[in-house]
């Protein structure tokens, strides 16, 4: 199963992929890749733009390091926890084993806020306790699972398995030998996934809609700084008491509701299951915020630590940031070791059973169908012979045929099609586009920040690390503006070609490891202001009701630009085509 399998983690903002090579006593990373996604491709685990996602996957395969992934490889995927439901169900001990799974599914139907018919469900019997039998139940929406399968099918890449994000993240971690009862907190940008593992078996999982974005936005609003500056403060100061006290208090204020919900979840689970959670492990982007482990440890009153990969540091590539690849690492491991929570395997079994049943039904009715078809053909032939009996007589006895009078065929010239040239309307008034809604203006369109990452590299033995970095940044800024409309723009949006934020991200190698003559690779995060084309059309239609549903295109001239704190605004002049 594991040969040529790549673990792929597809989230809303990025794709991480990793392949493991088996070695004596364990594994080492064979190759890995990361690709940022623009916001309109995947949202909350649902695929919005199939073509752009397929393009991103192919680019990621080609750019893996130290060697590209071969497209003939299989892939092992995970479904985001927001699209799954996992729970341990407790049933009376007197229920017979043969009835356990059926009763567990019936019980799950009572508590799942989704139609069972739309789910692919997995059921596993767990060890008994004194008074109860326990069933692990996990389900994912079938449409979501099939959409991920179809993406790779269209790329001619075989899927080896699909599990939940929590199961794969836990598989990527180094575990204590004493197998403690663990609360795994996956602290993401939008949500936090809290999952309880007992003896390395997932027992319960909840989604809480609080994440890193809450902190960043609060810092932006309360300190009146840009988004990129807020991100820097969150990472460098975060929850530490030795930094900027104001930033620390803002961060704590945003995380307090999360802590409150976690306390309720922990208390309920411990009282219901008569077990105690012994340790908290943090993963996800927000876990890297300074002071996160101490904050959650103190507030939950539990031993808390950051998650570490199960692979020894010496078997990780130089410059490898494992916190970004925990889930992909776990998926690659599960490709070798397997898992009970595999929705792809379950769907495949159900499809085989369905095909077998349909095949049996078709064999049963094959003779009947052939007989019916023959009878229908005989009736049709007999009917046709009766209707066309005169023509058949003429064919058989040609001497009795009357002379046919042939009418001359008159050719009618089609009327020439008149092409209607589109008319032009020039809107000379300024149209105000901003990230902050201004109800005082009637010539206003609400814009939104559009961010994406660009990867660049440069090799020049004559330049220092600092000069290489500066040259890369300059070249990238110029290139991204030239290619904006073709490469990076979003469908149904217009992105204003003015860089709002240009921020250096990951560099490879790091400055400390750089030697003259090395190739320098860098990831640069860009932010632009964009607006929906439909909003402009609505604005023009409101001003000119006679143009409603007639607009076919528009182009723009930038008249001015302003920046106020975290808000950005542009003045535009528009030229609209209509018919």
Tens digit of each residue's pLDDT (9 = 90 or more) over 63-98: 888 888 876 678 999 988 778 887 778 787 777 777
Tens digit of each residue's pLDDT (9 = 90 or more) over 46-60: 889 999 999 999 888
For residue 477, give every residue at least 6 positions away whose Cβ sits within 8 Å of its Cβ, in sequence order, or none: 499, 502
Nearest to 255 by CA among 210, 310, 218: 210
pLDDT surpasses 70 at 439: no
pLDDT surpasses 90 at 206: no
- Stated as kind and residue range, the H or E segment containing 167 is helix 165-171
**Rounded to an integer, what distance in angstroms lies between the CA atom of residue 86 and that of residue 205?**
6
- The predicted pLDDT at position 97 comes to 72
**Rounded to an integer, what distance in angstroms lies between the CA atom of residue 252 and that of residue 242?**
14
For residue 254, give every residue at least 6 positions away whose Cβ sits within 8 Å of its Cβ, in sequence order, or none: 210, 214, 215, 218
Nearest to 232 by CA among 505, 520, 526: 505
The answer to whether the CB of 182 falls within 8 A of the CB of 280 is yes
Residue 400's pLDDT band, with cuts at 50, 70 and 90, is very low
**Rounded to an integer, what distance in angstroms lies between the CA atom of residue 294 and that of residue 241?**
11
Tens digit of each residue's pLDDT (9 = 90 or more) over 176-198: 767 788 999 998 888 899 999 88
Q: What is the dihedral of CA 497, 502, 505, 508, to 10 degrees?
A: 80
Residue 457's pLDDT band, with cuts at 50, 70 and 90, is confident
Listed ranges 182-196, 386-400, 559-573; the one with the highest mean pLDDT: 182-196
The answer to whether the CB of 493 falls within 8 A of the CB of 447 is no
Cα of first residue to Cα of last residue in the chain, in angstroms, is: 59
Residue 573's pLDDT band, with cuts at 50, 70 and 90, is confident
Nearest to 330 by CA among 173, 458, 213, 176: 173
Residue 405's pLDDT band, with cuts at 50, 70 and 90, is very low
The residue among 444 and 574 whose pLDDT is bigger is 444
Residue 174's pLDDT band, with cuts at 50, 70 and 90, is confident
**Rounded to an integer, what distance in angstroms lies between the CA atom of residue 381 and that of residue 376?**
9
Determine what percent of the chain is predicted with pLDDT higher than 90. 13
Tens digit of each residue's pLDDT (9 = 90 or more) over 318-340: 777 777 888 999 999 998 888 88
pLDDT surpasses 60 at 44: yes
The residue among 241 and 295 whose pLDDT is bigger is 295
Nearest to 494 by CA among 529, 445, 525: 529
For 229, 232, 545, 567, the CA distances from 217, given in Å and listed in that order, are 11, 12, 38, 12
pTM of the prediction?
0.59
The answer to whether the CB of 139 falls within 8 A of the CB of 85 is yes
The answer to whether the CB of 307 falls within 8 A of the CB of 292 is no
**Rounded to an integer, what distance in angstroms lies between the CA atom of residue 35 and that of residue 52?**
12
pLDDT surpasses 90 at 568: no
**Rounded to an integer, what distance in angstroms lies between the CA atom of residue 339 and that of residue 362?**
35
- The predicted pLDDT at position 185 comes to 93
Nearest to 167 by CA among 142, 141, 136: 136
Residue 309's pLDDT band, with cuts at 50, 70 and 90, is confident
- The predicted pLDDT at position 1 comes to 44
Listed ranges 114-118, 162-166, 234-238, 548-552; the one with the highest mean pLDDT: 162-166
In this prediction, residues 255-262 reach a mean pLDDT of 92
**Rounded to an integer, what distance in angstroms lies between the CA atom of residue 570 and that of residue 445?**
10
Q: Which range has the worst mean pLDDT, 161-165, 521-525, 553-557, 570-574?
A: 553-557
């Amino acid at each position: 199963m594991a040969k040529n399998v790549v673990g792929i983690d597809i989230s809303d903002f990025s794709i991480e992929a990793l392949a493991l090579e088996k070695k004596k006593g364990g594994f080492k990373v064979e190759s890995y890749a990361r690709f940022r996604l623009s916001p309109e491709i995947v949202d909350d685990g649902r695929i919005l733009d199939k073509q752009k996602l397929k393009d991103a996957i192919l680019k990621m395969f080609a750019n893996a390091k130290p060697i590209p992934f071969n497209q003939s490889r299989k892939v092992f995927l995970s479904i985001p926890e927001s699209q799954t439901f996992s729970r341990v169900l407790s049933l009376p001990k007197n229920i017979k084993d043969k009835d356990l799974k059926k009763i567990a599914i019936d019980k799950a139907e009572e508590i799942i806020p989704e139609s069972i018919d739309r789910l692919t469900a997995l059921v596993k019997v767990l060890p008994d306790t004194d008074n109860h039998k326990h069933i692990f139940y996990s389900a994912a929406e079938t449409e979501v699972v099939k959409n991920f399968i179809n993406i790779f099918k269209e790329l001619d890449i075989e899927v080896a398995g699909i599990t939940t994000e929590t199961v794969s993240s836990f598989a990527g971690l180094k575990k204590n030998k004493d197998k403690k009862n663990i609360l795994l907190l996956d602290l993401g940008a939008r949500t936090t996934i809290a999952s309880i593992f007992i003896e390395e078996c997932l027992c319960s999982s909840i989604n809480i809609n609080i994440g890193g974005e809450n902190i960043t936005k609060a810092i932006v609003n309360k300190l009146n700084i840009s988004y990129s500056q807020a991100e820097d403060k969150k990472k460098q100061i975060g929850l530490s008491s030795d930094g900027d006290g104001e930033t620390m208090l803002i961060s704590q204020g945003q995380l307090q509701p999360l802590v409150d919900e976690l306390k309720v979840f922990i208390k309920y689970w411990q009282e219901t299951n008569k077990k105690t959670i012994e340790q908290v492990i943090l993963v996800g982007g927000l876990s890297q915020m300074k002071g996160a482990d101490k904050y959650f440890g103190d507030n939950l009153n539990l031993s808390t630590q950051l998650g570490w990969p199960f692979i020894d540091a010496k078997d990780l590539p130089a410059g490898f940031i494992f916190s970004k690849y925990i889930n992909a690492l776990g998926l690659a491991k599960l490709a070798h070791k397997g898992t009970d929570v595999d929705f792809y395997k379950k769907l495949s079994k159900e499809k085989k059973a369905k095909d077998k049943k349909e095949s049996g039904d078709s064999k049963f009715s094959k003779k009947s169908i052939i007989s019916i078809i023959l009878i229908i053909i005989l009736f049709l032939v007999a009917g046709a012979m009766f209707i066309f009996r005169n023509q058949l007589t003429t064919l058989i006895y040609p001497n009795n045929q009357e002379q046919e009078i042939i009418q001359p065929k008159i050719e009618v010239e089609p009327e020439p099609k008149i092409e209607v040239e589109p008319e032009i309307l020039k809107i000379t008034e300024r149209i105000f586009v901003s990230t902050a809604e201004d109800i005082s203006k009637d010539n206003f369109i609400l814009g939104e920040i559009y961010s994406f990452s660009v990867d660049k590299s440069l090799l020049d033995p004559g330049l220092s690390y600092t000069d290489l970095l500066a040259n890369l940044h300059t070249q990238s800024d110029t290139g991204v503006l030239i290619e904006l409309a073709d490469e990076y723009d979003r469908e149904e949006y217009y992105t204003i070609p003015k860089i709002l934020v240009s921020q250096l991200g990951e560099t490879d190698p790091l400055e400390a490891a750089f030697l003259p003559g090395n190739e320098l690779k860098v990831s640069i995060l860009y932010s632009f202001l964009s607006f929906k084309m439909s909003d402009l059309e609505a604005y023009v239609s409101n001003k000119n009701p006679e143009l409603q549903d007639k607009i076919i295109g528009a182009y723009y001239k930038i008249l001015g630009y302003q920046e106020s704190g975290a808000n950005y605004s542009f003045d535009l002049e528009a030229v609209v085509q209509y018919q």
